[in-house]
Amino acid sequence: MKKAFYFSIILLVVFGCGRKSNFTISGQLDGGQGKTIYFNKLLINNDLVLDSAKIDHEGRFSFKGNTSSPTFYLLKLSKNSFITLLADSTENVLITGSYKNFIRDYKVKGSRGSENLRDLNNRFFSAKTQIDSLRNLYNSGKNNPGYALKREELNAHYNNIIADHTNYITSFVKRNPFSLASVYALYQKWDENSFVINDLQTMKTAASALYSVYPKNEQVIALYNNTLQFIKEERDKRLTNVIKNNAVNSPNIVLPDADGHVRELWSLHGKYVLLHFWSAKDRASRIVNPVLSEVYHKFKSRGFEIFMVSIDNDRAAWMEAIANDNLNCINVGDMKGSYQAVSNYNIQELPFNYLLDKEGVIIGRNLKGPALNQALSQIFK
């Protein structure tokens, strides 16, 4: 009997985890009698009306919904009067406030996620209000004596407000990496082009944690994809810095060739060089190889070289591809992925190449087929 009981409990847990459960959102808004309130689901680029209700003579309203995980919803009085909720299954969310000042003075109980959103909104509104006040003072005092000193004070105050709120949001995300409220926090913006949080590590922590728990949530997917894009942009910036620090347009690469001889990219200064990243096991790379071989033999006597970097870890496959594809140019690789070279040149796909001039300056990128032949024909005309 005990075994049967425990087995039934296990079944309930297993089959109950993914099942949608009901929740309720109810409340009372003073001065809202007879008005319509809408219950919407918040999507990535818009919101979807799920239900609507007339607020009764006592200012009360109620909605029911079902979800299997925390989900963003809107309670909407009009286009510009709404609040955002983060409701989970089985929650009984209670909203109180006034119809006239719905956005600013509402209170929420019964939903930790929704309480977090309210706190995040209130803090952000307070910071924005202070910033707007400082801007007004800044603009109105331009013609007053001692304006330069006053401006310094205002700037210092402005920077403190920005720093305080940024630190709060960063701390919130780090404390709540598995909460969808962190998604909401990460998308707070001072203006159209300026997010409150610009710390990539904080974004990576939250995106990774949330994606591991909610891989099908569209807001989490959007955050995860945006984070990947920011990582790519950060790598691009890093490449630019490497280029600047080395005083040339292309970082050096020092790797062994197929015969075990160490070869350096910078030793080729004085020649036009196609720096080409590839893999013996990549079909697209193998399709391109015969074209590279043809181009190499066409221009090598005129001061052209190809420096191929393999990202393989299978030496036998690498050697076989070099022979079968008639690759007589320089071919290097450490058979461990050549990760440093790949990272330095921000390689995101294969095959990929850069065309370097005699000084090592990048003058072309990802040139293939006719585009490569045309570029070299122009150089060596």
Is omega for the bond preceding 351 within 30 degrees of 0, making it cis?
A: yes
Q: Which of 43, 78, 110 is the last residue of a domain?
A: 110
> Do 353 and 323 lie in a common domain?
yes
Q: What is the mean pLDDT of residues 216-231?
A: 89
**CA-to-CA separations, 216 to 127, 129, 190, in angstroms, rounded:** 33, 36, 29
Per-residue pLDDT averaged across 106-124, rounded?
96
Does 7 have pLDDT greater than 60? no
DSSP 12-27: HHHHHTTS-EEEEEEE
The C-alpha atoms of residue 116 and residue 175 are separated, in whole angstroms, by: 12
Task: Summarize the confidence of residues 183-206 as an average pLDDT.
Answer: 88
Asked whether the predicted pLDDT for residue 369 surpasses 70, the reply is: yes
Same domain as 199, residue 88? no
Residue at 46 is within a domain: yes
Find out whether 314 and 280 touch, Cβ atoms under 8 Å: yes
Task: Tell whether 234 and 273 lie within a shared domain.
Answer: no
Residue 348: CATH number of its domain: 3.40.30.10
pLDDT exceeds 80 at position 142: no
Q: Is the same domain home to 345 and 269?
A: yes
Query: In this structure, is residue 7 part of a structural domain?
Result: no
pLDDT over 60 (residue 5): no
Per-residue confidence band for 6, with pLDDT thresholds at 50, 70 and 90:
very low
Query: 15 versus 143: which is more confidently predicted?
Result: 143
What's the rounded mean pLDDT across residues 299-321?
96
Average pLDDT over residues 210-214: 90
> Percentage of the chain surpassing pLDDT 70?
90
Each residue's pLDDT tens digit, 39-83: 999 998 899 999 999 999 999 999 999 998 899 999 999 999 999
Report the interhelical angle of 112-140 vs 147-175 (nearest 10°). Answer: 170
- DSSP E strands, the chain: 21-30, 36-42, 47-54, 60-67, 71-78, 81-87, 92-98, 107-109, 189-191, 194-195, 254-256, 262-264, 272-278, 304-310, 330-332, 352-356, 362-365
Pairing verdict, β 304-310 and 330-332: parallel
Q: How far apart are the first and last CA of the chain?
A: 90
Residues 6+ apart with CB under 8 A from 373: 295, 298
The predicted structure's pLDDT at residue 15: 38
Contacts of 196 (CB under 8 A, 6+ apart): 124, 165, 166, 169, 185, 188, 189, 190
Same domain, yes or no, for 102 and 158? no
Structural domain containing residue 266 = 254-379
Specify the pLDDT at position 148. 74
Residues 153 and 59 in one domain: no
Please tell me the predicted confidence (pLDDT) of residue 4.
44
pLDDT of 242 over the 60 cut: no
Q: Is residue 172 part of a domain?
A: yes
Residue 58 DSSP label? T
pLDDT at 246 over 70: no
pLDDT of residue 68: 87
Same domain, 279 and 360: yes
Residue 17 has pLDDT above 50, yes or no: no
User: Where is the domain boundary, 110, 136, 165?
Assistant: 110
- Summarize pLDDT for 170-188 with one digit per residue, the tens: 999 999 999 999 999 999 9
Q: Is the CB of residue 91 less than 8 Å from the CB of residue 23?
A: yes
Q: Indicate whether 266 and 284 sit together in one domain.
A: yes
- Is residue 10 domain-resident? no
Q: What is the pLDDT of residue 126?
A: 94
Closest CA to 39 of 85, 80, 70: 85
In-domain check, residue 232: yes
Q: Give the separation between CA 149 and CA 147, rounded to whole angstroms.
A: 5
Is residue 114 exposed (0-12), middle (13-18) or buried (19+ Cβ within 10 Å)?
buried
Determine contact, residues 275/354, Cβ cutoff 8 Å.
yes
Decide which of 60, 83, 110 is a domain's last residue: 110
Write down the pTM of the prediction: 0.58
Mean pLDDT of 328-339: 95
Number of domains in the chain: 3
Cα–Cα dist 232/259, whole Å: 34
pLDDT of residue 200: 84
Pick left, alpha or beta for residue 372 (phi over 0 → left; psi -120 to 50 → alpha; otherwise beta). alpha
Are 124 and 165 in contact by the 8 Å Cβ rule? The answer is: yes
* Exposure b/e, 8-32, CB count within 10 A at least 16 = b: eeeeeeeeeeeeeeebebbbbbeeb
- Whether 179 and 260 map to the same domain: the answer is no
Q: Does any domain span residue 9?
A: no
Q: Are residues 295 and 337 in the same domain?
A: yes
Shared domain check, 373 and 346: yes
CATH code: domain of residue 56: 2.60.40
Residue 285 has pLDDT above 90, yes or no: yes
Q: Are residues 129 and 28 in the same domain?
A: no
User: In this structure, is residue 247 part of a structural domain?
Assistant: no
pLDDT digits (tens, 9 = 90+) for 82-107: 999 999 999 999 999 999 999 999 99
pLDDT for the residue 249 = 60
Local confidence band at 265 (pLDDT 50, 70, 90 cut-offs): very high
Q: Which residues of 183-212 are buried (b: 16+ CB within 10 A; e: fewer)?
A: bbbbebeeeeeebbbeeeebbebbbebbbe
Average pLDDT over residues 105-129: 95
Distance, in Å, from the CA atom of 326 to the CA atom of 275, rounded to the nearest integer, reads 17
Residue 12 domain-assigned (yes or no): no
